Structure 1
Amino acid sequence: MAVKEKLASFHTLVLIYMTQTGVAVLSLGQLLAVTFGYNGWLALPAYATVVTVNLLLIGLVHRMGRGQSIFDIMERRLPKPLLAPLYLLFISVWSMLACLVIMEYVLIFQMIAFPTTNSIWFKLVIDVLGFMLFTKGVYTIAKASTVFFYLTVWMYPLSCTFFNNFNWSRLTPFLLQGGNYQPSGIVDIYTAFLGYELVLLLFGQVDRSAKPVKLAIWANVLVLLSYAYICFLVLGFFGLHQLQQMQYPLIDMFAFIKFPFIERIENVLYGLLLFTMLTTTSMYFWASNEASGRLLPKIKPEYRGAALVAGAFLIGLIPDTIGNVDQWLTLFSRIEIGISFGLPLFLIVLLLIRREKEASAGA
């Protein structure tokens, strides 16, 4: 029997970082400007702190369960009639998030580069790429994500050229003033950090020397630094009032870079975002496929994965505009926030109940 390959620490760190980073970065600066106003990027550490608290809860599950799979923890403590609806919830939410992330990317890409091309063909191609990646397993996804990371990380030093048009006067001494502080906007910003919760499914997938939750915390720090740097640049480049009127300020900012050999570098930026988006969607499809394997263990993973992608593809045809996709994505992202906090708490309760029963039996 072949030995199952485990994830090394570096690959796990990069995988979680790439899963968290996605298309949301394009509009994050605008969301911060609208919600928090001047120097809204200073609110990002608060979001990273909430993520860290959530990861500490997940770490408690890992410690109490001694590294067991979350599916094993639930199946040893819950009857099958209760597990089925729970698994169906995970399958539905994770597969729809994967689908909607693709749809958002495709519709934005179509809008800025190929307005006359049917978006269905773009989505179909990306779905096939995602299927080919996630059905190979999380080890292959992590290796591909590492390559994707090296292909995209060079954009950060390139962005230093924006400091030529950076104006410090746009970063006024007013801190977090001029925003509307709408609860919906506050929650929408948090969804840009989602993806870290899938570390729950990496228990047992990493090397013994690697600590998945600790690596997820470090990945979250990298995401925080990345988001803060980008939003700081965008705010100093455009200013608050101009930024509040934009939809995708990061694309507009890259449009100012001119090279003699590249006419529109913002298209290059958006093409490179395909790699981070592909990691995110592959991980959510993989998580959904893992949950479906618990319901239908006799069906091969490739067949289950094909059914998930096909079902999500058909449902994804319903929201046909960016506005509709954003509404759907907002709904499922908020459900996922509930899962990211609720599932670890639920698992901790199950582990505590089991310990009490074992202690009573021992007495």
Structure 2
Amino acid sequence: MKEKLHPFHISVLVFMIQAGVVVFFLPRMLAQYMGYNGWVAIPLFSVVATFNIFLISIVYRLGDGRSIFQIMEQSLSKLIVYPVYTYLIVVWTLLGCIAAKQYIILFQVFVFPTTPIMYIKLLVDIIAFSLIIKGIYNISKAATVFFWMVIWTILMLTFFIKGFEWVNLTPFFFKESTNVVVGSISIFSSFLGYELVLLLFPYVDSKKGFMKAVYFGNFLTTIVYLSISFVCFGFYSFKQLTKMKFPLVDLLAYIRLPFVERVENIFLALYLVTSLMSITMYIWAATETAKSLIPRANKRWITAILVCCAFVVSWIPNMLSEVELWLKYLGYMALGIAFGLPLMLIAILVIHNGGKKIA
């Protein structure tokens, strides 16, 4: 009997994929795009993500826990299935490697300024490869360990209670917002990652609240994003936030401890594991898809090829601005997958089941 993922591990996986480098500049994005009290938009984006998760739960219920690859291959022609698989492989592989490159650039600038970026990227890719070939169960266990390394850091926000100024929040909501549509897509992209649970259907126990665990993981991400954004909006003025590149890094620099000189470097080092889990899960998802595309291929060789391709592609964008531009367009593609794939699967299942009710 195969081991099944525990709901807690699923919640942790969702959180670790979602929460990454974005926490360091999310308050600035909210100020730039959403305007005054932009932190209020976080629950709104969370509601949209929750609705998307609801669509995934419909797929899980209608498909009776079957793999999404089985659902598509049993109902669609290979002429349709293979291009879809190829698209998923390319987007997920690129999203994982470029998201990791973004964090590594930030990490290198603040922690190891003399170390070549690609050396650090190579180390991260090797660790990711080692995790992926061990399978999803070992990945989930590693994610749980990393989760406890990271989650306690949210308590450090209590250091800024004395410096928190309610007047900075102002009575205005979303005033001076700019490029709301483009900004909303960019901000919502920070919630993406939960869509990978579509590939976890064969690895979970339907009797143990699989989808509840996914909802809880997204809720936990929402709490962390909301806490960080709320404190930053109360500690800094609106104008300050719009001009800061990494508000959370600057915020952490205010902490002074007798035994640590630069606390922000410790936080950056700790959050490296969230970047590691992101690239691990995205390339694991790409590997699972490639295995369905080429059933006879060895899974380790598929993973090795994808990781090598990801490493080569990550050489192309050198500057942080270039990486952010890549992520912007990859975010659009990932958003299309997050909503489009569940909707397509629901349509297939409803037609295949002869109009069976969703509820």
Range class of TM-score, shorter chain = over 0.9
Distance in 2 separating the partners of 1:239 and 1:123: 35
Distance in 2 separating the partners of 1:320 and 1:124: 15
Tell me the residue number matched to 1:229.
227
Task: Report the alpha carbon displacement of residue 357 of structure 1 after superposing the two structures with TM.
Answer: 9.3
Report the TM-score, using the length of structure 1 for normalisation. 0.95
268, 271, 275: which one pairs with 1:270? 268
Report the TM-score, using the length of structure 2 for normalisation. 0.96
148, 160, 171: which one pairs with 2:158? 160
Runs of 4+ deviating beyond 4 Å: none
C-alpha deviations, 1:189-240, integer Å up to 9, x for none? 0011010111111112112322322211121111111111100011111111
Distance in 1 separating the partners of 2:190 and 2:83: 27
Listed as ranges, the matches of 1:201-220 within 5 Å are: 201-220=199-218
Distance in 2 separating the partners of 1:326 and 1:182: 18
- Between 1:68-77 and 1:133-142, the stretch displaced more is 133-142
Contact 1:199–1:213, Cα closer than 8 Å, also in 2: no
Listed as ranges, the matches of 1:80-119 within 5 Å are: 80-119=78-117
Contact 2:34–2:180, Cα closer than 8 Å, also in 1: no
Distance in 1 separating the partners of 2:231 and 2:292: 45
C-alpha deviations, 1:53-89, integer Å up to 9, x for none? 1111111111111111101100111122221111110
Contact 1:33–1:244, Cα closer than 8 Å, also in 2: yes
Listed as ranges, the matches of 1:9-48 within 5 Å are: 9-48=7-46
Aligned pairs, number = 356
Tell me the residue number matched to 1:361.
none
116, 125, 148: which one pairs with 2:123? 125
- Unpaired runs of 5+ residues, structure 2, are none
2:54 counterpart of 1:68: no
Letter in 1 for 2:135: G
Distance in 1 separating the partners of 2:86 and 2:128: 21
Tell me the residue number matched to 2:6.
8
Contact 2:163–2:235, Cα closer than 8 Å, also in 1: yes
Task: Report the alpha carbon displacement of residue 16 of structure 1 after superposing the two structures with TM.
Answer: 1.0
2:277 counterpart of 1:282: no
Contact 2:100–2:278, Cα closer than 8 Å, also in 1: no
Contact 2:65–2:206, Cα closer than 8 Å, also in 1: no
Letter in 1 for 2:224: S
Letter in 1 for 2:246: Y
- Between 1:319-328 and 1:111-120, the stretch displaced more is 111-120
Letter in 1 for 2:59: V
- Between 1:46-55 and 1:156-165, the stretch displaced more is 156-165
- Between 1:109-118 and 1:269-278, the stretch displaced more is 109-118
300, 303, 306: which one pairs with 2:301? 303
Distance in 1 separating the partners of 2:184 and 2:154: 26
Letter in 2 for 1:67: G
Aligned-residue identity in percent: 41
Letter in 2 for 1:231: S
Contact 1:103–1:316, Cα closer than 8 Å, also in 2: yes
Change (3 A) 1:186 1:357: closer
Q: Aligned-pair RMSD on alpha carbons? A: 1.3
1:5 alignment partner, SS class: coil
- Unpaired runs of 5+ residues, structure 1, are 359-363
